[in-house]
A and B are shown apart, each in its own frame.
Chain A
């Protein structure tokens, strides 16, 4: 009975402390904005499997990689000749045929007997946004919105996995370096100097030359390199500050073992900084993944970087806003999600870092 009371009491205190911290966090407008962005993308990532499972979307039409849907429109057959522009209908040669028209030269071979002024059914790919495909389809007739959702799953999995791996490594090594000092410390510091020296992108190129990179490979590689690099140094300096605090001394005097001191005194005090690093490193991981898949060095079916890569290869980017649904959403998604995580980190730092707090 007493124990249960104690437990519920403890839970109450925890909930209260979370509430208080959240109220503090609410002060930071940029942090809240970041959180909202991250939640929106998280929602998108989870929404897609839900739509497939409940059969609201059928896979044949909406699958991001193998789905296909074509959009039919009724087009008027016109003939675009080499005449002087502007004409009454068109301003420049590129305006003919207009969106709901088709050049007779393009359709005549398949439709014998067709003449100007006829109205025929036309398939268009990539199709512009419609009620069925919110963000249109790409050049292969695949739903862009579904691709975007798939991409956010990839981004979340990769970002979080590599951040957790990275922060795990750097927290462990950082506290060890701080606590043991001496040779261990010197070795770990040289090691992170070395890792900092390695150029990320060329290195990833070389690794991708070794073997086909899958997403979780990349997550591990990014995590390991992130974890061995500069963050070890930062976490170490934080751990050093904690190490000289009186409560660590008193734990030592009262006979706490090294392990116990490390895990129950130093680690909890390093954790907030580690968490902050985690949030920031998600940003970097998302960017790296997108760049690699943009350059075609990642073995992946669908991701935001790949969407841009395809749009570029097919020449849609050079046509600018005409095919905006192929160009804008994916790039914006990378920017926004990476920025969202960064904003959350910035917000946390601004509010909880005592050296930055306003009051």
Chain B
């Protein structure tokens, strides 16, 4: 995989290097760039040297985290830009993906369970069309309906400029704080679910989990009232308000993919003999569906879910363009269209990092979920 990653870096460099007309160098003559930036960029990328040296330099620079200035937003470097945009994209899409995963998995498993019924046919057809919907069109219609016609949600942008006029915080600080909160919240809940796994009575188990979930919400209320956070709350709320529509729109499209995949894998699992055993044991339908069928069908769905991480940046392009959400997707589109090569190259290479992380996570989670693999990796 590491080899593949290096290949990916090389390809992403060569792609940009090959843009006709020596664009890399010529664009540096952009009048908004001061002469020293020109010198530095030439030196950094070795633009006056042969290809092999250039390539080498690029890879070394990538690992050093120094990819030069942006041509268009000059004093900022490519890495700075990514550092600024990435949290925004990550926040939006982690919320979307988690929502889409849960709803999609739930719908998919119900679909497989009710196979052949009228409601199954209709919901499957709806899911297919929501999966293949022409996304920009759908997003624009959502924007028109909820934003313009109903006026329930703001149209575009990730914050209301007026409110932030005299804000003591930078929006990125608030973003990071929100992401931190979300990670802590989900980690605690995850630990609780693992701890409660051993409780024998099923209803008790469910009640404890539900209770702790609401408990966590109450605690988070206090959490957002402490120290700096109590001032930040207002701004965090503003950002959250702006996320509603994009989250809703992407979830509608993204959940359908998970639902359809779950439906297929679950239908395969339902033919397995242990489902019959479970029925013979007199387990309840819900228990067979959730514990036996869905648990096994989960494996491929989780893998594909994790690989959506790779496509986060890819998929964010349209969403961010339409909802004017200044994240990685907009960055990559802007930099390519306006030929801001260092930034375009950096974002492109960054996708490779994402893919690496995704592969790693997929392996780990697979080992966690599938005991058959756990043993293999031990032995």
Binding site for B on A (CB under 8 A): 29-30, 33, 190, 193-194, 196-203, 205-206, 209-210, 283, 287, 290-291, 294-295, 304-305, 308, 312, 317-318, 320, 327, 330-331, 334-336, 338-339, 342-343, 346, 349-350, 355-356, 358
How far apart are B79's CB and chain A's nearest CB, in angstroms? 18
How far apart are B78's CB and chain A's nearest CB, in angstroms? 15
Beta-carbon contact of A29 and B121 below 8 Å: yes
Residues 78-131 of B at the A interface (beta carbon under 8 Å): 115-116, 121, 124-125, 128-129, 131
Beta-carbon contact of A339 and B128 below 8 Å: yes
Query: In whole angstroms, how far apart are the Cα atoms of A194 and B144 in the complex?
Result: 39
How far apart are A88's CB and chain B's nearest CB, in angstroms? 26
Beta-carbon contact of B4 and A287 below 8 Å: no
Given A334-B134, A346-B260, A356-B268, A198-B8 contact (CB < 8 Å): yes
Top 6 A-B pairs, shortest CB-CB distance: A331-B137, A334-B134, A199-B314, A338-B132, A339-B132, A197-B355
Beta-carbon contact of A283 and B132 below 8 Å: yes
A/B pair count, beta carbons within 8 Å: 133
12 A-B contacts (beta carbon < 8 Å): A30-B121, A190-B3, A199-B351, A202-B336, A202-B347, A330-B137, A331-B141, A335-B132, A335-B134, A342-B132, A346-B128, A358-B116
Beta-carbon contact of A343 and B128 below 8 Å: yes
Query: In whole angstroms, how far apart are the Cα atoms of A33 and B313 in the complex?
Result: 34
Binds A, one of B11-19, B39-47, B217-225, B290-298: B11-19
Query: In whole angstroms, how far apart are the Cα atoms of A340 and B134 in the complex?
Result: 13
How far apart are B322's CB and chain A's nearest CB, in angstroms? 9
When the two chains form the complex, which single residue of B16, B132, B137 contacts A206, counting CB atoms closer than 8 Å? B16
Beta-carbon contact of B145 and A291 below 8 Å: no
The answer to whether B337 has its CB under 8 Å from any CB of chain A is yes
Beta-carbon contact of A194 and B116 below 8 Å: no
How far apart are A158's CB and chain B's nearest CB, in angstroms? 14
Which residue of A is nearest B348, CB measured?
A: A202
Binding site for A on B (CB under 8 A): 1, 3-5, 7-8, 11, 15-16, 18-20, 115-116, 121, 124-125, 128-129, 131-138, 140-141, 144-145, 148-149, 260, 264, 267-268, 271, 310-311, 313-314, 317-318, 321, 332-333, 336-337, 339, 344, 347-348, 351-352, 355
Residues of B within 8 A of A294 (CB): 136-137
Beta-carbon contact of A202 and B4 below 8 Å: no
Residues of A within 8 A of B318 (CB): 201, 291
How far apart are A194's CB and chain B's nearest CB, in angstroms? 5
Residues of B within 8 A of A200 (CB): 314
Beta-carbon contact of A202 and B332 below 8 Å: yes
Query: In whole angstroms, how far apart are the Cα atoms of A195 and B138 in the complex?
Result: 28
Residues of B within 8 A of A317 (CB): 140-141, 144
Which residue of B is nearest A307, CB measured?
A: B137
Given A196-B310, A197-B351, A290-B134 contact (CB < 8 Å): yes
Beta-carbon contact of B1 and A193 below 8 Å: yes
